[in-house]
Amino acid sequence: MSSPSIRRALISVSDKLGLVDFARGLETAGVEIYSTGGTRRHLEQSGIEVLDVAEYTGFPEMMDGRVKTLHPRIFAGILCRHDREDDMASLEEHDILSFELVVVNLYPFQATIAKPGVTKAQAIEQIDIGGPSLVRAAAKNAKFTSIVTNPEQYSSVLDEITSSGSTSQEMRDKLSAAAFAMTAEYDRAISGYFAESESDSIFTTNKTISMRLKNELRYGENPHQQAGVYSVVGSSGANIVNARQLNGKDLSYNNLLDLDAALHIVRPFTQPACSVIKHNNPCGAAVGETLVEAARKGMAGDPLSAFGSILGFNRVVDEETAELLSEPGLFIEAIVAPDFSASAIGILTTKPKWRNNVRLMQVGNLEEQQGELSYRHITGGMLIQESDILVDDYPSWEVVTETKPNESLQDELRFAWQMVRHIKSNAIAVCRDQSLVGAGAGQMSRVDSVEIAIRKAGERVQGAVLSSDAFFPFPDSIQAAAEAGIAAIIQPGGSRGDESVIEACNEHGIPMIFTGRRHFKH
């Protein structure tokens, strides 16, 4: 049979955005509107004729609205199959009307539990019962019933009803899929809330991640791989997925990975900071008195590798910084920052040769980073851990050598320790003047990483400091550092070879700090 004409709509929503205009359009198209409680009053106040569900069912709303739509006269009208004579005969026998359109969104459970200080009792009151039942009933009967669950759907649904008096099967199937996704997400939020509230561990027995497709990407890490980016439902704050793109080509899979890494590096610093990312590792990073100083130092960390890099800033990119980045000989793929001044946008999008292509990503204020979980897929499952964002406990650090670092070296060592956690293991960072001048990343041997970092630093290694993400098992790395002119070393300690490593530092007069904490990044 053809699509049934939409004669009646049942409307019961918490989010009333755009509802009046939608309902007025339905009224103009000749659709009878039935509604409940607050939704009915909202529509009536706008001059829309609404029939009361309680009068139709002959059963009043009760228990502060907990019970209002859970009635056979409502659900039979939604679930009836218009091509079944027995279904339609049952409606006639029991004087039941059919509902060809259901408009429902749910109590704001997710928004409620996101508020600070919400009690369990308050959360429970925001668990919708009738709403999900109505949604699922209408979505199940998508052959005959249209289910609208989001104000963003109003326009397209109303266009079809206005033009043909009904909705297409393609539209109903699309609405049904969105409806089931919504109820699944809603149930996930509820189950997750209770699992976490009843558990002493962040690792509950069952964990469900709800995500929405934000964009399909041109391809993944390589052109033969399809890819997309999803947003985690409920995720908020300053991050790459939620960022606003102000200029440039579409982001690639690799761009997103590098932008995320760039933002992670600069986020913790209170001073103006810049990070320079290439292939998900920092090839330069620095702090300065001004943003332009941090940018200049960061770009100088490894000028060769910085060509075609991704930059991260923890301050609004200003005109002076934009002028620096637009100097001849530089090429920048993308920049992420809290914001960009109007003059900086003007410079970056008109002055350099790459002006039309550079991606400018505005993430907003970098508020204090909250504890979060890190997810990583492996074949057959998922690894979950707390993100490595714990603030360093400087008083717990121990100087283990005869020579003590002076105050200037201590500042350098703190910066170097912050840097090394962002480099892939085995990780070595060589830093000078609060900037990264040499990095050794992802080597199978720690001494290989040391030698690479020293080579990258070049002449700047003289008087620089060196950090290691994990302990040195042997003194060979210390020997290489001493020969290069390293002034101080920081590492976790904890190796069976600690005594020989300390002895090597004492032999060369190099102060060394043990932090007692490792920073592997695989």
| Rounded-to-integer distance, Cα 439 and Cα 431, Å | 9
Active site residue 140: yes
Amino acid at 425: S
Q: How far apart are CA 449 and CA 520, in angstroms?
A: 14
Other residues' Cβ atoms within 10 Å of the Cβ of residue 487: 21
- Is 279 in the active site? yes
Q: Which two tokens stand for residue 58?
A: 């002959």
Beta bridge partners of 228: 216
71, 140, 174, 351: which one is catalytic? 140
Residues 6+ away with beta carbon under 8 Å from 48: 20, 23, 24, 27, 33
> Measuring CA to CA, which residue among 320, 334, 325 is closest to residue 247?
334
Residues 6+ apart with CB under 8 A from 4: 82, 98, 100, 144, 166
Q: Where are the beta strands (DSSP E) in 43-160?
A: 51-52, 101-104, 146-148
Query: DSSP assignment, residue 58?
Result: T
Q: Cα 251–325–217 angle (5° rounding)?
A: 5
Among candidate residues 143, 207, 249, 279, the one labeled active-site is: 279
The 8 Å CB, 24+ separation contacts for 475-478 are 475/500, 475/501, 475/503, 475/504, 476/447, 477/446, 477/447, 477/450, 478/504, 478/505, 478/508, 478/510
- Helix runs in 421-518, H state only: 446-457, 476-484, 498-508
Q: How far apart are CA 430 and CA 464, in angstroms?
A: 6
Catalytic residues: 140, 279
